Amino acid sequence: MKYIIYSIILFTFVFANGQTALDSLLQKENKESIPYITVSELVQKENIVLLDSREKIEYETSHIKNAVCVGYDKFKLKKIKKLLPKDKNTPIVVYCSLGIRSEDIAEKLKKAGYTNVYNLYGGIFEWKNQDNSVVDNKGETTENVHTFNEDWSIWLKKGVKIYKKKKSKQ
């Protein structure tokens, strides 16, 4: 029952308020300890490290070109540090679906001494909603975007919504 009520509230916020609803959701879920970078600011940036903090199945469905999958549930800073530049002032942008999980990962980077870390406002959903391309695991452009689950898919306005979990091996 709680799941149904949450879904109704989420649905109402999205369609009644548009961007204001996303602002409200992010303010509720995030501490805002990491500065946001907007999609329009990101497309103008050069020489950045782009980290995808979604799970592997989400990343394999599609991701922003040149992003490195660092995961969320199995995020290991020690392993990721090997992929990052030695210069801890290098700009790093972390994203997820909307910008909630990415804040957690960005906080870990900040705690490790990285000084120029940003959270992509609206995540890959906002990226795609603003007509930017995403690529699949083979590097080919795709319209598919993994939306984590059906409830979160309401935030994706453009592209093909995918929210199936990978079948476990038996």
Catalytic residue list = 96
How far apart, in whole angstroms, are the C-alpha atoms of residue 13 and residue 10?
A: 5
3-state secondary structure of 118: strand
> 170 Cβ partners below 8 Å, 6+ apart?
none
- Report the amino acid identity of residue 64: I
Query: CB-based contacts of 146: which residues, under 8 Å, 6+ apart?
Result: 54, 57, 58, 59, 61, 62, 97, 162, 163
